[in-house]
Each structure stands twice: as structure tokens, then as C-alpha cells.
Structure 1
Amino acid sequence: MDLIFAEATPPGRGGVSVIRLSGEGARSVAEGLVGSMRTPRHAYFRNLTIEDETVDQVLAMWFRDGHSFTGEEVVELHLHGAPVIARRVSAALLECGARLAEAGEFTRRAFLNGRMDLAEIEGLGDLLAAETEAQRRLAMRATSGELATRTAEWRSWLVEAGAFVEVSVDFADEDVPDEVPAEAYGMIERLHASISKEIAGFSAAERIRQGFEVAIVGPPNAGKSSLINKIAKRDVAIVSTVAGTTRDVIELRLDLKGLPVTLLDTAGLRQSEDEVEVAGIERARERAFAADLRVHLSDSGDAIADLWHPGDIALCGKADLSGATEQAISAVTGVGIDAVLDQIFDRLRDRVAGAGIVSHERQLNELQMAANALENTQHLPVELLAEELRKANHALDRLLGRIDAEDYLDKIFLSFCIGK
């Protein structure tokens, strides 16, 4: 493969800038800049010289092929974080025949060289995008190979069950015990139950990865925008005594005790003849209905009946004026706001309690194909059963990207940054 390089740290001014090279000749090219590096994984403090001029003092290290992130020979140059230095070194590397890496190309090479499977790569992408502790923990489970370990266990069951079935097919005329097919069926049933349990945990895991939406709904002037601003501790939404001020859905992203949550400030729900306001109200209803949770806010504490879902929260607003104390909040004094955030967290936490390790739709689809192949197999003849087991095994191979992975790679790496 080509010798590639990229700045692995964010562009701009900083304390340190790291440039990473990967591919055949990485060490040789780097030694042309910093001198001999004989020992792998040893940090060398050197002058980096270009055209007999010392450009910077750097830390340099190299990794043998087979012992690096990409599986190729890799060199890292730790420069001082002035953009001019990174530009000068990049220009020198281009002159040496290296090329700038594409987004995700280092990780793509790790996959192609067998250093990571497809599920681990998806987890790495999630880790790079993680904003909360719950997202980080979920991503780390994938990146550490937990799904690969679980899949290996499933495949071992498949292989054992398949062996029983193949014996029954290949030696049907021989003296094979009658209980062999029955034992295979029992093993398949346990495998189907295990995969189905992981499928059932997909919804909660996906919500952790993508985040929850909580809609604040109610009539005009109920204090929805004021509540959003109080939680954000800044003016996110326009607050006015004029009813119908909020026309579009305003979003506020929160890290709520480790859970990713987006609060939605929606248009006040009422009858209106204003065409723009009517459009905003319709959009508010659509987003609120699709949200994971709704907070119904009004002066009386009543909920919007057609939007109410079990588990929703109903609140009295403007507690500083009404004097209400039960399920009441005030965006002016802050009374009750911490309590309602705790309620939101408790409800969402209950929903993610059963989260599995499958959090991408691609992974879900492969597991569903495997589960479908294993479903209702109790009365299949052994010849057809053997084919269903092969289908399930094929789906598990696709799950980890061992086959048919090219269709997914470009899509997966679209979200990766250059240098990773």
C-alpha cells in the first residue's frame, strides 16, 4: 500500500502536534528527517531537519509491521503545536513520496490487515463521537471486542450443532444414534434464545448511541422557553409575553448524569389562524409524539391528552406566582428544576437498563438474519436444517466483516476524521 501520513491531532495551535505515517518505508522516510531509529517503540528526542535546517525538536518513535495500530510499519512524530511546523513537515513528507491519508484510512488499513473487525471499527467511530459517559462505555464495549467474543461463542455453538446435523446427513445409512438430531435441535434453540436476547437490547443501546429526545409541551406562555434557558444557563430560546413566539423546535443538548439527552422546546399548542404558527404547532406535535419522553408544562399542571404517554411528566409552571409545591417548577427561582431533571434521568435510565452491545442497524440486521435462520427449525428435516445453519453462520461472518464488508466500509468511514 501507499505510504500515507496525516496530522493525528486537531489542526490549529496547541501544545503538541502529532503526525503519523503508515506503510512500507515509513521508518526510512522518517529517519531522513530525524536520524537513525534502531529500536522499535522507543522514543527518540531529536532535531528534525529539512534541507539542513533544524525545523523543530521532536519526539519520534516507530513500530514494526504487525505491531502497530494499522498492522503496517508506523512512525509517529510529536512536534511542537505551531501550525507552521506541521505544514513544513507535511510538505517534506509529500516530497519524499508519501501522500495525505483520507478520512478513516488508518483504521481501514487496520481492518484490511486483520487488526480490527468491523464491529470494533464501528465502536471506534462511536468512541470518537462520544459526548457522555454512557456513550463512552457503550463504545468501549464494542471497541474492546466484546461483540466479537460473543459472536465467537455463537459460532462455536453453530459448529457443534452443524457437526451433529452433518453426521446425520452424511451417514444416514450408518448406525448413528437417534438422539443426535435432537441434541442439535436443543443447541440451536439455546443459540436462538441468546441471539434474540441481544436483539431485544438493541433499542436501548441505539438510544444511548444516538441520544434521547425529551419534548417540553404545553400551551403558549406556559414557561417552556424560560425553562430551557434556565437549564442551559443562557438564552437559547426567545422569551416573550406575546403568545406564539416559539415557532420552530429549539434543541438543547445535555449530558444528563452521563446520558445523552436533547431537550426540545416546542411551539405553544393552541388553535391559531396564523399560517406560520400553525406549521410550528404541527411540527411540535410531530416531534413531541416521536420523542422518547414528554414533559407537559402548564399553569394548571394538566397534560396534553392526545400527546400523553405512560411515563410522561406533568408539571405546574410559574411556581413563583402560583405558590404550587407539588410537581411544580419556576424558571425564575429555579425551584423544582433539579427535581424534574432527576425524574427525566430516572425514566431514561430505566429504559437503558437492558441495553445490549449491538447498537448499529447493520449489526441488528445481521443478527436478525441469523435468528430468522434458526427460528422454527424443530420440525425441519436434517438436509434443510443444515442449510439454515449455514445461513446463520454466514450472517455472523458478515456481522464482523469477515465477508461482504466492502459494501459498508465507505459509509462507516464517512464519519471518521483524517488521521484516524
Structure 2
Amino acid sequence: MRQNLAILLQSVAVGAALVLVPATAGTTVMKQPLISLGASGTSAQPGQASEFADAKMMMPNPFTYVYEAGDALSDEAGTGQVYELQLSGEPKAILQRVADALGVQGSLFEPEYSNDQYRVFVIGSKDGSGASATINWSGTGSWWFNEPQAYPTPDCNKWETAEDGANYCGQYAEQKPTPELLPSKDQMITEAAKIFSAVGQKVSAAQIQTSSSDWGASAYSSLQIGGQDSPIEWTVSWGPTGKIGSVSGHSVKAVSRGDFKTISDKAAVGRISDWRYSGQLAQSVWAKYQTNPGGEVIAFDGAAKSLSAPEPFGEDLPENPEPDQSPAPSPTPINVTVNKAIKAQLMIWDKSGKPWIVPGVMLFADQGWLTPVFNLEDGVVELPDPVEVSPMLK
């Protein structure tokens, strides 16, 4: 059950709640930080930070990256809106609405892994074998529908017997895609709009994005905050048989906490190497701007090697190799120039588990990498202490 609970506990952490003083220019001056981030950062999963912080040694990184701001970046500061995401509605009523919209049968119950801090309610299957709808009343009030029958188990060609006498499948029949069973783009948009509307999210056809392959399809729409797509998204997914396998959404409203000063794009480059300034972008933004750096990686000695031509593996190796007594090599410095910046909203989580939408910027390196960081000036967000990790030495 701990695994189930871990799935429900969304990322990071941090407490908030502070004193806001209106400024004459329309921005907000802080007497105390508005948002306080926890040790796990802005977007990590529960438990990751403590595991990272507790690690005494880690494998050394063969590279150190030195980020430089290109001449094309602006050195002008600005302002941006900060939004607090607050739970909205009554969880049991929301879940019943989801169940009714998706035809889930059964009584509402609270599973044993639910607690006062992370309340969870379920309608439908208790063992995961049938359709169910679940809501987690914390964070963004996320809910989801699951129908395992949309993903049929392949036939077994050969059964085996384990040492304890239990039977298991040793060879499954080959599965073949059936793209002809999947909905068309127009059908996906129509069905998604109908479902989103039934659960309380009114969207137009133009606000729904779709994707598909031979094995499945999906559609999603973002909650508009300040006229922009946010990482708060509603999704519908179809399995290989064309049946809806999952639907998900949220139960929040965005409350503006004011207009705050932001640093320049050039200054934001200095935050790339600090994980504490990271945040989550909307899926639609990633889809629009994410680029592929290409089919090359940087080798340890600084030379580029193609991913399509891997080195031979496991050939001509001695049976009993002598341990390597050579000292660990020093990291190779790599200079990275950031030559493009685009403003974007980011979602971060405070140490109390509350999500926030903050202004940020996507920084593009000359290699094609995209790195988002929030660009609020110092003092608005209280950062956790940096985590120092000792390298693993031979």
C-alpha cells in the first residue's frame, strides 16, 4: 500500500503564506517570502530528495557545464503574475460526477492508504481488475479513471511451472497493432470535449490537442491561467482496441497573488545549473518548443561519437581483469551558450504540498537543449539549502 500512497503524493514541497505590501508601480513588495520550497525542490517525487540528500557518495559526473548568456539575450528585468492553486469543490461530489460521466458502477469507499493529510476516495473496482474512478484530495485535487479492459492481455502460447508449483506464462502470443480500431482526430476531439464538459471543464475544440500511434491515442487540454496553457491538464487515452482506458483531471482554481518583479533573461542563465529553480511546463509548450539535439553524445575525452555506432560490447575481455588503480579523471568542462529565451509559466510545489504557477523562462542552448527556470527575483521564493554530494573515489 505504500507504493499506492507514493503514487498519490505529488512532487515536492513547500509552505507559503506571507505578507504582501502593494507597491506604487503595481508590483508587490515582499516583507517575507511568498513561497517556501522544501528540500525536495520544485518538481521531484516524494522521497527522492531525502534519498539524494542521504547519499554519501555518488558516481562522479565526467563533465562540468559552464553556461554563458549569448549576446541576443535581453538584460531587462520585468514583472510576472503569481497564482496560487487552491482546491475547489467537494471531493465526493466531484468523484461521483466523474463516475457518472464514465459509467463507473459501485459505491464510494475510502481505501486503507488514505489519511487525514492525503484523503483518497474510490468508486468502482477494489482490486484493479475492473473500471474505477479515484480522487486524491490534496495538491491539485487530481482524479483519474482507469479501465484495464482497454488493454487486453495477450494469449499465452506456453505455460510454465515454477518451483513452488505455481503456473506462469513462459511465452505470450505476438500482439499486432490494430490502428483501424482507433478513433480519428475529429472523433478524439469530439469525445474528449464531451467528457471534459461532463466533469466540469468547458473547452473548445481548438483547445484540445491529440496524438496517436498504431498502439493507442490520446487527447488533452490545459487549464488556461492568465491566458496561457498551464501544466494543469485534462487527458483522455484510448487503448489499442479503441476503448477508453484512462481519463484524468484536477479540481483547482487559480487565485492571483499579485504582480512580482522578475530578473532578466541574461541573469536567468545563472539559474540553469541550480535544480532549485526548476519547474514544470505545460505539455503543449514542451510539444511546441522541445528540440532534439541530434544523434550525437559527447565522449569522455571530449570527442563526439554517434549514437548509431556503439562500441563493441563484451569482446576480447580478460577473464580476470586487474582492478583499475588509476585515479578518477577530472571532469571535462563544456561551455554551453544560451542564445534564445521565451517566457513561459511554470508550476512549482511548496513544502506543504500546494502548487503555484509562477513566471519563468525557457532557455535554449546552442546545442538545442531547452531548460525552464522560474525568474522571480530573489526573495519571493525561499529556497532550500543546496545539497552537496561527495564524489565516489576509487
Higher strand share: 2
Query: Which fold has the larger relative contact order, with Cα–Cα distance below 8 Å and residues 6 or more apart in sequence?
Result: 2
TM tier relative to shorter chain: under 0.3
Max Rg structure:
1
Higher helix share: 1
Please report the TM-score for the alignment, with normalisation by the length of structure 2.
0.23
